[in-house]
Amino acid sequence: MRMDGAACPSEVHDFDEALLVISGVMKLARLSVEAGDLIIVTAGQAHAVTPGSYGSLMIVDR
């Protein structure tokens, strides 16, 4: 997925989701995730990408 600086609305899933930043920076509410970093968003946890995120992101879910 290409991040272009725009925000993505909050979402919640009934499954865990892995977010791997390939390049750039992904900004979440209280966290900046940089290239090479992987975070796991657990099932039921609301999450949203905030404005200013850019680069490439790989999303792994079921």
Query: Does the pTM exceed 0.85?
Result: yes
Asked if the model's pLDDT at residue 62 lies above 90, the reply is no
Q: How many domains are there within the chain?
A: 1
CA distances from 25 to 3, 15, 20, 35, 41 (A): 9, 24, 10, 6, 17
The domain in which residue 32 lies consists of 2-60
pLDDT digit string, tens, across residues 2-48: 999 999 999 999 999 999 999 999 999 889 999 999 999 999 999 99
Check which CATH number belongs to the domain holding 52 and give it: 2.60.120.10
Q: Tokens 């925000």: give the residue.
A: 7
Q: What is the three-class DSSP state of 30?
A: coil
